[in-house]
């Protein structure tokens, strides 16, 4: 019997407009009657993850920044594993020759060392921030970021939980990835062809989800995890009750899951919940 749903956000729980559809909301609300919980597992920082959930009237715990931090439904931090300063230095040294754009995720939100002009150009070329919907304007994106310099960032006491490295040239990103793989203690994932998501090796969705399950006395076979991109693989490879790929998931993700649901345009999360938990067939199994 499933007692916990672990759902990714972008490309999964959220539709292409960056919203939780009415059908997904209804399915999640129906879980309460079955005494099944839900935890969101996302690459977003807490403020960006909380916003669409609040808009949908959904209150749940959130595993943020690919597992680097966990917050309960009231916003209290339950777990944190930032990158070490030495790891941040190593990443910057490797990436510096490639002129990448960074998104440094902290508890306060996102910070970048890019100029406003660089950020705008990347936005207009549809390179930066894969989670963007067509309704976003540059002004709304700009407001999410604090702008700083590399020296100011490194001299501050601010913890960096996740670094997103963005470049339009996928060949350069692959070169960067190969170099980063030689560094110990860094987890490398991706949520789009033009980015790399870097966290501490102990900060992955899979490990954070299992810690969360142990804390809540939930067995692995009582968990259903659902996602669409590489940064979900650490939880979709787990030996748990069900692993589900979205219809819009990459082929790599689909190869590592037991089941495939509909796309995020067609309420794939709701469809999986209804088929595996809410239906009469699921109840009698």
Nearest to 11 by CA among 258, 238, 255, 268: 268
- How confident is the model over 160-179, as pLDDT tens digits? 999 999 998 999 999 999 99
Q: Where are the alpha helices (DSSP H) in 62-204?
A: 85-95, 116-124, 138-142, 150-155, 170-180
- How confident is the model over 244-272, as pLDDT tens digits? 999 999 999 999 999 999 999 999 999 99
Of the chain, the percentage scoring pLDDT greater than 90 comes to 76
Domains of the chain plus CATH, in order, are 4-81+204-284 (3.40.50.1000), 85-200 (3.30.1240.10)
What pLDDT score was predicted for residue 131?
Answer: 46
**How far apart (Å, rounded) are the C-alpha atoms in residues 248 and 262?**
8
Instruction: Spell out, as residue ranges, where the chain has pLDDT lower than 50.
Output: 130-131, 133
Q: How far is the first Cα of the chain from the last one, in angstroms, to the nearest whole number?
A: 8
Residues with Cβ < 8 Å from 74, sequence gap 6 or more? Answer: none
Instruction: Tokens for 261, please give them.
Output: 């649901």
**How far apart (Å, rounded) are the C-alpha atoms in residues 225 and 209?**
9
Nearest to 7 by CA among 24, 22, 23: 24
Whether the CB-CB separation of 247 and 266 falls below 8 Å is answered with yes
């Amino acid at each position: 019997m499933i007692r916990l749903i672990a759902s990714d956000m972008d490309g999964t729980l959220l539709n292409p407009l960056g919203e939780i559809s009415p059908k997904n909301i209804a399915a999640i609300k129906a879980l309460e009657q079955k005494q099944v919980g839900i935890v969101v597992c996302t690459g977003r920082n807490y403020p960006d993850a909380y916003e669409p959930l609040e808009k949908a009237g959904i209150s749940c715990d959130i595993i943020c920044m690919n597992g680097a931090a966990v917050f309960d439904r009231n916003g209290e931090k339950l777990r944190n594993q930032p990158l070490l300063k030495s790891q941040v230095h190593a990443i910057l040294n490797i990436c510096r020759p490639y002129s990448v754009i960074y998104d440094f995720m902290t508890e306060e939100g996102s910070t970048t060392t890019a100029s406003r002009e660089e950020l705008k150009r990347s936005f207009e070329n549809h390179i930066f921030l894969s989670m963007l919907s067509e309704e976003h304007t540059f002004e709304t994106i700009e407001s999410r970021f604090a702008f700083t310099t590399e020296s100011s960032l490194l001299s501050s006491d601010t913890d960096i939980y996740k670094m997103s490295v963005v470049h339009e040239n996928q060949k350069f990103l692959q070169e960067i990835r190969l170099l980063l793989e030689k560094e110990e203690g860094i987890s490398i994932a991706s949520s789009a062809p033009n980015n790399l998501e870097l966290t501490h090796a102990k900060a992955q969705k899979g490990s954070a989800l299992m810690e969360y399950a142990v804390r809540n006395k939930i067995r692995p076979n009582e968990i259903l995890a659902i996602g669409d991109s590489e940064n979900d693989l650490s939880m979709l490879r787990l030996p748990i009750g069900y692993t589900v790929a979205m219809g819009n998931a990459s082929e790599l993700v689909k190869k590592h899951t037991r089941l495939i649901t509909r796309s995020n345009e067609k309420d794939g999360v709701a469809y999986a919940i209804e088929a595996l938990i809410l239906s009469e067939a699921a109840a009698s199994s």
